[in-house]
Structure 1
Amino acid sequence: MNKVFLEVAGLRVIESASGKAIVDGVSLRVAAGGALTLLGESGSGKSLLAQAIMGTLANGLHAKGAITIAGALFDAADQRSRQRLWGREVALLPQEPWLALDPTMRVQRQVAETHQLVAGLAADRSRAAALRDLRQLGMEHAARLYPHQISGGMAQRVAFLATHAAGARLLIVDEPTKGLDSGKRAELLAMLRAAQDDGMAVLCITHDVWLARALGGEMAVMLDGRVIEQGGAAQLLAQPSHAYTRALLAADPASWPVRAAVRAPGEVLAHVREAAKSFGKRCLFSGISVDIRRGEVVAITGESGAGKTTFGNLLLGLVRPDAGTVTRATGLARTAFQKLCQDPAAAFAPTVTLRTALADVLALHGLTWDAATPLLARLRLGDHLLGRLPSQVSGGELQRFALARVLLLKPALIFADEPTSRLDPVTQQETLNLLLEVAGDSGCAVLLVTHDAEIARAVAQRRIALCVS
C-alpha cells in the first residue's frame, strides 16, 4: 500500500458575505502513485475543492479544514501557505489548456520556463529538458509553434508538460477530457497513467464516466458540495448505492436509448456537391456530396482537425468551398440557417445581462417579448436568471439561452457545433433533448457536430463521417 500523499479532512468552502457553505465537510485521501476521481455534475463543488487545496480560491470565498500534502499539515484557511508547493509538489492541469498557455510564447519556451523558474535549471539546460519532454510525447515538431498553431489535444499535452516539469508529486486535473475526441481522450489517459507509474498522485475532477472507469483507483461522487458516495471506482461504478450516482451513470451517452425520428424528412434545405476545403497545404475534406432535409438530425463525426466545424460553416455560408458547390433551397429567409456554438460563453457579451442579450435580438428582428416568454418557459429558464450576466449562470443554462436566441428566429436548420461537449452528462442529456424536441416540433433540421460516437448513435438518423487526411 503506497503512502498517502494528499489528505483532506473536513474541508469547507464558504461564501464570506453570506456564511453559506458551498463545499461542506469533504474528506478524502490520495496515495502516491494512486488516483482519486471526483465525479459530479457542473456546480457540485468539484473545482472549488481543487482551488481550496491549491490555495487559489477567489475573493469572497474562504476555506476551513485541514489539508496534508507530502506529510506537511496546512490550515485550509491559510491560502498563502501552499503557494511554495506550486509546481514543486502540487501541479494543476486546468480545464482550458489554451487559456492557460501564454499566446505570445512558443511551446518549447513554455515548458522550459517551468524547468528554469521552478526547478532552478540553467537556461540552456531548461531548453534541452523541454525539448526532451516534447520528444517523449511525440511533439518535438511543435517546439517553435505558438499555442494558436496547435490543436486542443496538443495544447493539453503542452500544459501537462509545463505543469509537472519541476517534478510535482500531486497532479490535479480539472475536466481534462472536455471537448476531446476519443483518440485524444485515450492520449490523455495514457499521460495520466504514465504520471502514476512515476509515483505521482492524481486527483482527477471530471464528469466523464468513461475517464473515471478507465483511470480506476478510488472514486468519490459529489452533489451540492458534499461527497455522497465514495469507494473503489470499479465497485462504485458497477454497484452505485446512491440514487444520484445511478442517475449520473444513466445519463452517460453510452446508456442513451436510440431516439426515434419525430417526423419523416421533408424538403431539401441544402445541396452539397463534391465540396472540398483546404487551409494552406492541408486538405480537410474533398468530394463531399450530401443533401440536408427539413426535420432530420444528421451527425457530423470525426477526430479533431477533420473539418467538422468547417463543413458546417460551408452550409452556413461563413466560408466558401475551394471546389464543388453548396446551394440553399430557394425562398428561405436570410436567418433560416443558424449556429449553436460549442462554448456558449463565447456567444454572449460578458458585461451584458441575459435579458438585454435576448431583447437585442427581439428588437433587431422586429419581435416582441411575448415571442420569448413561452420559449423560455419550455427551456426552463426562469425570470430570476434574466438579470444575471453570462458568467453568473451554469453552462447548461447559458447554452439554453443560446438555444432560445436561435429558436426565436424560427430557423429551418440549426448547425449545432458540439453544443453539449462542455456539459456534465445530466445537463448534456437534458440540453440535447430540449434542442431536438423543440427543433423537431417545428420541423427544423439539426446538423449536429459531435466527437462522441454514442451520441451520434442515439440521436441521429444518419451520419457524415470526416477523416483526418
Structure 2
Amino acid sequence: MTVHLHRVVVRHAGRTLVDVADVHLEPGRAVTVVGESGSGKSLLAHAALGTLPAGLAVHGAMSIDGVPHDVGDQAGRRPLWGRTLALLPQEPVLALDPTMRVRDVVAEGAPTFARDRRAARRAALERLAGLGVAHAAGAYPHQLSGGMAQRVAFAAATIGEAPVLVADEPSKGLDVAARDDLAALLRRHVEGGGVLLTITHDLDLARALGGDVLVMREAEVLERGPVEQVLTTPTHPYTARLLAAEPARWAKAWMRDGGPPEGSPLLVHAEQVTRTLGGRRLFTGLDLDLRAGDRVALTGPSGSGKTTLGRVLLRRHPVDSGRVTHHDLARRRGRAPVQQLHQDPTQSFPAFVPLRAALGDAVRRHGVAPGRLEELLGTMRLDPGLLERRPGGVSGGELQRLAIIRAMLLHPALLLADEPTSRLDLLTQEETLDALMGQVEQQGTALLLVTHDTSLAHAVADREVVLPGGVTTPTAVLAGR
C-alpha cells in the first residue's frame, strides 16, 4: 500500500502552519519527520489521518493505493481508522482509557470486537504476549511504566492490522532502553511491509528507524533524503543547527572537566541510605556528599528511583534506614536554599492565575530584590508580555524557562532539576539548559539533574549516580564525566 500527500496546507487565523508540497510513503521504508516544536510536523501527520483539531483550515490531496481523498474532508477518513490508518499517539498513558484494563483497551481495536468479544480478548492477549507484556493484561494504564505503556499503545494501534501507521512523538519521555525497544517495534511494522510515518524531535530514533527523513521548520520541508545522508552531511544550515543541538556536540562556556573548587562547603551528607517504594527496594546503603557548586546527574531507566533519590537528598522523602544531613541550608531573606524543577513545568504554577501574579507571589513572599525578575527575564530571552498570560497560553519551552526563573529568583544553594527538558525538542532543550546552567554557574548552585538521557548527563554533570533498577544491593555508581 502506498500513500501520497500532495500540496497539504493547514492555516489558522490567516497564519500558515503547514505548507508541504508532497510526501510519498511506501511499504517497507520508514519516513521520519523531524524539527523543532511548532514546525508543523505533527499537524502534517494529523491532516493525513483526518484528526486535526477543530478550527483549522486544511486543503490538499491524498491518495491511498491510488484511491483519491480530499485532505480537507477530515471526517471522510474515519472509516479508515484502525483498518487502514492507525495512530500511535504521544503520551500513551494519557491516550489509553484510564478506566479500562489493558487487555480490554487493546481488544476494542480488534476486527472481531463488535461480533465476538471473546475472540477479540484472545487476540488482544496474543498481541500483548507477542510484545512481551502479557503480564500487564489485567493492569490499568496508570500502573504501567513508560515503556510498557508504549508497547500497550502499539498493540492497540496495530491489532486491527492497519498497514499505515503514524507514530506521533512516540519516544517522548522514554529512557534509552525503552526507546530502543520502541524502535524495534516500529521497524517490525516496516519489515512486515507496513507503511510508517514517524513524527519526532529525537534524532537517535530517526537514525534507528532508517529510511528517509524530512526536516521541517516554520511549516515547510527544508531538506529531505536518506537518514544516513541528511543526518550526517546535511545541506541546509538549519539541519546542521539541529544536529549541533544534540548534547554530545555541545561546547558551552559553563561546561567543565572538574568539579567545584576544592574546599567548597558541604551541603548534603547521605550515609547508608536505603529506600523502598511500593514493596520494591530502589537503592541500598547509598553514600553521597554534595558540596556547593556540585553538578551530579541521577541516571537510570524509568522506575529505577531517580526522582525518589533526588527528593530523599532534598529531605522531601523519608528513608527506610540511613541518614541525610543538611548543612548551611537554612532559609534566609531573599533566599530559599532548596528548590525543585518539575518534569512538567505546569506543576510550578496555578493553572488559572496569570504568570505575573504567580511569580509576583514568590517575589513578595521571599523578599526578592527589586528588578531581579526583570533581570532574569532578560537573561532567559523571554518577552515580559508573557507574564500577562496563564500557563496554558505559553509554549512548553517558555513555561519551563519561567519555572527556572521562579526557582532561581530565590538564589537556591541546591536545585533538583527533575527531567527538566525531556519533553522539549533539541533546540529548545539546548536553549533552556543554557539558560539554567548560566544561572547555576553564576549563583554557585549545587545541581542534582534527574535524567534518562546519558549524553545530557555527560554534558552537564561532573559526576553521575547510576541507578540500574531492580537491584537490592548498592546500585549507585559514581563516575566522572
2:383 corresponds to: 382
1:264 equivalenced with 2:265 (yes/no): no
Following superposition, the deviation at residue 116 of structure 1 comes to: 5.5
| CA shift in 2, pair 1:73/1:360, >3 Å | farther
2:294 corresponds to: 296
CA distance in 1, matches of 2:158, 2:296: 41
Instruction: Judge which range, 364-373 or 351-360, deviates more.
Output: 364-373
1:180 corresponds to: 174
Matches within 5 A, 1:132-281: 132-257=126-251, 259-260=255-256, 263-264=260-261, 266-281=264-279
1:41 equivalenced with 2:41 (yes/no): no
Whether contact under 8 Å (1:116, 1:122) holds in the other structure is no
1:323 corresponds to: 321
1:397 corresponds to: 398
Following superposition, the deviation at residue 263 of structure 1 comes to: 4.8
User: Which of 69, 72, 78 matches 1:74?
Assistant: 69
Whether contact under 8 Å (2:329, 2:413) holds in the other structure is no
Letter of the 2:442 partner, please give it: D
Whether contact under 8 Å (1:339, 1:406) holds in the other structure is yes
CA distance in 1, matches of 2:191, 2:144: 27
Following superposition, the deviation at residue 309 of structure 1 comes to: 0.4
What are the Cα deviations for residues 408-436 of structure 1, in whole angstroms up to 9, with x where unaligned? 11111110011111111111111112111
Whether contact under 8 Å (2:368, 2:410) holds in the other structure is no
1:101 corresponds to: 96
Following superposition, the deviation at residue 367 of structure 1 comes to: 3.9
Q: Per the alignment, in what secondary structure is the counterpart of residue 34 of structure 1?
A: coil
CA distance in 2, matches of 1:25, 1:204: 16
Identity of aligned residues (%): 47
Whether contact under 8 Å (1:10, 1:27) holds in the other structure is yes
Whether contact under 8 Å (2:106, 2:155) holds in the other structure is yes
Matches within 5 A, 1:418-433: 418-433=419-434
Whether contact under 8 Å (2:294, 2:462) holds in the other structure is yes
Whether contact under 8 Å (1:34, 1:217) holds in the other structure is yes
1:64 equivalenced with 2:65 (yes/no): no
CA distance in 1, matches of 2:319, 2:147: 26
Following superposition, the deviation at residue 369 of structure 1 comes to: 6.0
| CA shift in 2, pair 1:78/1:320, >3 Å | same
1:356 equivalenced with 2:353 (yes/no): no
CA distance in 2, matches of 1:302, 1:110: 29
CA distance in 2, matches of 1:375, 1:97: 35
CA distance in 1, matches of 2:299, 2:353: 34
Following superposition, the deviation at residue 78 of structure 1 comes to: 1.0
Letter of the 1:10 partner, please give it: R
CA distance in 2, matches of 1:386, 1:74: 44
Following superposition, the deviation at residue 72 of structure 1 comes to: 2.3
What runs of 5+ residues in structure 2 fail to find an aligned partner?
A: 471-481
CA distance in 1, matches of 2:360, 2:62: 47
1:83 corresponds to: 78
CA distance in 2, matches of 1:179, 1:167: 27
What are the Cα deviations for residues 96-148 of structure 1, in whole angstroms up to 9, with x where unaligned? 1111011111111110111167x645111011111111111111111111111
What are the Cα deviations for residues 218-262 of structure 1, in whole angstroms up to 9, with x where unaligned? 110000010000111111112100000001011112322482168
Whether contact under 8 Å (1:170, 1:200) holds in the other structure is yes
Letter of the 1:135 partner, please give it: A
TM-score (normalizing by structure 1): 0.95
Whether contact under 8 Å (2:259, 2:295) holds in the other structure is no
CA distance in 1, matches of 2:356, 2:148: 38
CA distance in 2, matches of 1:104, 1:35: 34
1:8 equivalenced with 2:22 (yes/no): no
Q: Per the alignment, in what secondary structure is the counterpart of residue 371 of structure 2?
A: helix
CA distance in 2, matches of 1:52, 1:328: 54
Runs (4+) of structure 1 exceeding 6 A deviation are none
2:479 corresponds to: none
Whether contact under 8 Å (1:41, 1:207) holds in the other structure is yes
1:440 equivalenced with 2:441 (yes/no): yes
CA distance in 2, matches of 1:93, 1:348: 30
Q: Per the alignment, in what secondary structure is the counterpart of residue 50 of structure 1?
A: helix
What runs of 5+ residues in structure 1 fail to find an aligned partner?
A: none
Whether contact under 8 Å (1:43, 1:394) holds in the other structure is no
Letter of the 1:298 partner, please give it: V
What are the Cα deviations for residues 288-336 of structure 1, in whole angstroms up to 9, with x where unaligned? 1000111121111111111000000112222101111111114521831
CA distance in 1, matches of 2:461, 2:29: 39
Following superposition, the deviation at residue 361 of structure 1 comes to: 2.2
1:332 corresponds to: 330
Letter of the 1:411 partner, please give it: P
TM-score (normalizing by structure 2): 0.93
Letter of the 1:211 partner, please give it: L
Letter of the 2:460 partner, please give it: V
CA distance in 2, matches of 1:455, 1:425: 11
